[in-house]
């Protein structure tokens, strides 16, 4: 496993960025640290001359950037997703610092793609975006002034990733393949349908309960086989095998 594989397995995903200059500066920050894969979810303005100007020698990252309509699309194929947050959220996502997050991500990136997701400049990640993350990471900041610029936050995170990768000691752990983002999303859809069918959740307000359930499984970091197992249970729960005795 070479360090190139790890660099190649890391995505930086910027959600609904308002200022194209920040996209350019983020691309430059990424490239200085050896990262390449930039995803832009519904950017306000892109492509843009100001973004290209601020990217300077990293304009190639803007050219190869992938623009998507939804965060879920940007996470296609990812086995692990970490959201960046400037503050403690009230829900039960696990919160770790950027250095710990870099280590977690790099271990998985020895084998499968991982993503770091950044929210808008003004308000960070929405709850719906958080629901796509398995873990939240924060950059420890001055409690009296936590306002890191978006590109500055990308710079610090990519720096920590580079430091982690260069330090080595990232031999692949003995573990099974993690489920991809789309497998997990397929499971959630299946689960929600099932819970509606069995009358466990209110069809007029399914959201709150599904959020709580998503956070439980986010912490569990489901493996590919485990998703299959859980979906098997769901299938049987509404359509039991005819020959069952109980």
Binding site for its own copies (CB under 8 A): 25, 28-29, 31-34, 56-58, 99, 139-142, 145-149, 151-152, 155-156, 159, 162-163, 166
Q: Which residues on adjacent β-strands are paired with residue 95?
A: 136
Q: Give 244: exposed, middle or buried? Use CB within 10 Å, 0-12, 13-18, 19+.
A: exposed
Nearer to its own copies, 110 or 155 (CB): 155
Q: Nearest distance from residue 13's CB to its own copies, in Å?
A: 19
Q: Say if residues 178 and 80 touch (Cβ distance below 8 Å).
A: yes
Q: Read off φ and ψ for residue 101, nearest 5 degrees.
A: -65, -40
Which CB atom, from 166 or from 205, has the smaller least distance to its own copies? 166
**191 is written with which tokens?**
């689960």
Tokens representing 53?
């100007």
Which of residues 56 and 237 has its CB atom nearest to its own copies in the complex?
56
Q: How far is the CB of 153 from its own copies (least distance, A)?
A: 9
Compute the Cα dihedral for 3, 4, 9, 14 and give only its sign: positive
Helix axes 224-238, 181-197, angle to 10 degrees: 20
Tokens for 208, please give them: 């709150």
Cis amide prior to 220 (ω within 30 degrees) = no
Cβ at position 162, least distance to its own copies in Å: 6
Q: How far is the CB of 203 from its own copies (least distance, A)?
A: 45
Q: How far is the CB of 172 from its own copies (least distance, A)?
A: 23
DSSP 66: E
Distance CA 89, CA 49 (A): 35
- Between 126 and 149, whose beta carbon lies closer to its own copies? 149
CB of 14 to its own copies, least distance (A): 16
The smaller minimum CB distance to its own copies, of residues 163 and 230, is found at: 163
Nearer to its own copies, 94 or 147 (CB): 147
Q: Look up residue 91 and give its two tokens.
A: 């829900």
């Amino acid at each position: 496993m070479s360090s190139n594989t790890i660099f190649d397995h890391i995505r930086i995903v910027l959600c609904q960025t308002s200022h194209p200059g920040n996209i350019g500066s983020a691309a430059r920050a990424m490239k200085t640290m050896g990262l390449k894969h930039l995803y832009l979810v519904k950017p306000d303005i892109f492509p843009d001359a100001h973004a290209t100007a601020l990217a300077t020698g990293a304009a190639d990252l803007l050219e190869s950037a992938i623009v998507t309509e939804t965060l879920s699309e940007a996470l296609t194929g990812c086995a692990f997703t970490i959201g960046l947050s400037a503050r403690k959220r009230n829900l039960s996502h696990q919160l770790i610092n950027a250095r710990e997050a870099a280590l977690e991500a790099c271990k998985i990136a020895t084998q499968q793609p991982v993503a770091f997701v950044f929210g808008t400049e003004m308000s960070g990640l929405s709850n719906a975006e958080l629901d796509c993350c398995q873990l939240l990471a924060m950059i420890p900041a001055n409690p009296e002034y936590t306002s890191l610029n978006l590109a500055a936050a990308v710079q610090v995170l990519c720096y920590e990733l580079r430091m982690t990768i260069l330090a080595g000691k990232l031999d692949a752990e003995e573990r099974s393949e993690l489920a991809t983002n789309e497998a997990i999303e397929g499971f959630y859809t299946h689960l929600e349908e099932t819970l509606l069918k069995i009358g466990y959740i209110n069809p007029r307000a399914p959201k709150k309960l599904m959020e709580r359930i998503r956070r439980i499984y986010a912490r569990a970091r489901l493996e590919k086989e485990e998703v299959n197992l859980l979906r098997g249970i769901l299938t049987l729960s509404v359509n039991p095998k005819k020959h069952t005795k109980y």
